[in-house]
Amino acid sequence: MHTSLTEEARVQYRVHPPAFLDGKAKLLLIDGKLVPSVSGKTFKTYNPSTGKVLAEVAEAGREDIDRAVAAARRAFEEGPWSRFKPFDRQAVLLRLADLVEKHFDELCLIDTLDMGGPIARTSAARRRGVALLRYYAGLATATHGHTIDNSVDGDIFSYTLKEPVGVVAAINPWNGPLGLAIWKIAPVLATGCTMVLKPAEQAPLSPLRLGELCLEAGVPAGVVNIVTGFGEAGAALSAHPGVDKIAFTGSTEVGQHIVRASAGNMKRVSVELGGKSPNIVFADADLDQAVPGAAMAVFNNSGQICSAGTRLFVQRSIHDEFVQRVAAFAKTLRVGDPLDPQTQLGPLVSDTQLERVTGYLASGKAEGAQALSGGQRITEGALADGYFVAPTIFANVTDSMAIAREEIFGPVISAMPFDSIEEVIRRGNDTPYGLGAGVWTRDIGNAQRVSRGLRTGSVWVNCYQAMDPAVPFGGYKMSGYGRESGTEHMEEYLQTKAVWVKNPPEKR
């Protein structure tokens, strides 16, 4: 179902455009100040629903990166931040959480305009965004080392200290600009690190607005710096000798560049990369839940989610019926203007992404897959100017086709039948990636065997993409390493120092 903007949404957006989009060029946040780039260069960010320019944004170059890293270093070593106690950092995080909550309508509208996420989806992220900040506020005062019983001769004891790792370079993709920025900022503030954040060029606006809120929340100058720009800015940042750790989320290809760039000064690295996640439906599953579950495991955010369950394995006895039902469900989804509260799928983020996804649609057909729904760009009426693709399920897919092996990052499911549990575990693992996986079954034995057998960072049983600030998320294999969320996330930003103390002999 394709819809264009309702009159109601049009009126609402005209009455309440985000105040942040005031027509002025958006600046870098360096050392507590909003500044243009040294070169004076800017770039444009676009609204993917219309292809029209949304804002001009400062384009950071090497000198801006140097300035931002120097500010972060000063703030880490000399600034008031280095004297903040855990309770003080907690207070900052709680104030930021309150501000994000207060300004959420504006923040989610900015994301909808900048990257095309349906407003129903971006506004529903309120609870998670605010909860993330409050969760890390709790962890700020819950971090501690241990005293450790050692077996060394003599009166000598040992304990560990947890210390912030230092200056963090955080580099993000565009598929959830606000949430991803919060996910990077929260552990920095909780642990006492400082940071330079580089959002993706395609959707840099909500991170910049979040930077303003950081200042309002009392984050001291230089603790959170935000530099917008292209891949070269990210490359300069990840190779910078003044950076102690890189927290990268993005493609596996760029992740490999990051790891190489980190070697110069042995930076700590965490990399959250791509995926080609298996979603496995057994014949005994509750199909009324599994049909929309399997569909939305891919169609959420128009498929632009790293853990999307894009390889749909269906037990042979129900395969044909199941894929037909997913196709019928896909045809009921409302694809349209993301400002319309009824819209379920918005556009892809950019013309480049549209080209990439339609390329895979063509390659799937050329290799003999059959599109049971969608299969093409939407070129009708008001949607023709945007980057809209109809939700697609391919049947007659084989494991070796490009659509079954490569990350598409669009609303495309590749469905395949399977017979036995051993077989589906083997095929599920037959990918360089290892991010997420789903299992749909009423049999607890099947669920456990598949959960243990798959080499992925998350497994969802009878659900998909459930997330919580307390539950760690991350990859196996070429989906990267390191975890975000949970106490594991804090460890990524902390050093462990062992201290040995020998009691001097008693004075006689």
Is 406 a residue of the active site? no
Name the residues that contact ligand NAP, by CB under 6 A.
171-175, 198, 200-201, 230-231, 234-235, 238, 249-251, 254, 257-258, 272-275, 306, 407, 409, 435, 475
- Out of 108, 193, 214, 306, which one is annotated catalytic? 306
Is 463 a residue of the active site? no
By C-beta, is 45 or 112 nearer to Mg ion?
A: 45
Task: Compute the least distance from the CB of residue 100 to Mg ion, in Å.
Answer: 21
- Measured CA to CA in angstroms, residue 383 lies from 10, 66, 169, 329, 421 at distances of 15, 42, 38, 21, 43
By C-beta, is 155 or 351 nearer to Mg ion?
A: 351
Binding of Mg ion by 20 (CB under 5 A):
no
Out of 13, 30, 37, 45, the residue judged to bind Mg ion by CB under 5 A: 45
By C-beta, is 250 or 453 nearer to Mg ion?
A: 250
Task: Compute the least distance from the CB of residue 65 to ligand NAP, in Å.
Answer: 11
- Out of 59, 193, 201, 272, which one is annotated catalytic? 272
The interaxial angle of helices 444-453 and 421-429, nearest 10 deg, is: 30
Q: Which residue lies nearest ligand NAP, judged by its C-beta?
A: 234
Out of 46, 282, 299, 473, the residue judged to bind Mg ion by CB under 5 A: 46
Full DSSP string of 307-337: T---EEEEEHHHHHHHHHHHHHHHHHS-EE-
By C-beta, is 55 or 435 nearer to ligand NAP?
A: 435
Full DSSP string of 140-194: HTS----EE----SSSEEEEEEEEE--EEEEE--SSSHHHHHHHHHHHHHHHT-E
- Measured CA to CA in angstroms, residue 366 lies from 243, 360, 363, 410 at distances of 46, 10, 5, 18
Binding of Mg ion by 114 (CB under 5 A):
yes
36 binds, among Mg ion, ligand NAP, none (CB under 5 to 8 A by kind): none
What is the C-alpha separation between 196 and 492, in angstroms, rounded? 16
409 binds, among ligand NAP, Mg ion, none (CB under 5 to 8 A by kind): ligand NAP
Task: Compute the least distance from the CB of residue 104 to Mg ion, in Å.
Answer: 19
Q: Which residue spans within 374-463 are E strands per DSSP?
A: 392-395, 412-418, 438-440, 460-461
492 binds, among ligand NAP, Mg ion, none (CB under 5 to 8 A by kind): none
Full DSSP string of 54-109: EEEEE---HHHHHHHHHHHHHHHHTSGGGG--HHHHHHHHHHHHHHHHHTHHHHHH
Task: Compute the least distance from the CB of residue 289 to ligand NAP, in Å.
Answer: 25
Find residue 167's DSSP bridge partners.
Answer: 194
Residue type present at position 300: N
Token representation of residue 394? 């391919």
Residue type present at position 81: W
Task: Compute the least distance from the CB of residue 262 to ligand NAP, in Å.
Answer: 11
Task: Compute the least distance from the CB of residue 248 to ligand NAP, in Å.
Answer: 7
**Which residues are tagged catalytic?**
272, 306
> Which positions lie near Mg ion, rule CB under 5 A?
45-46, 114, 203
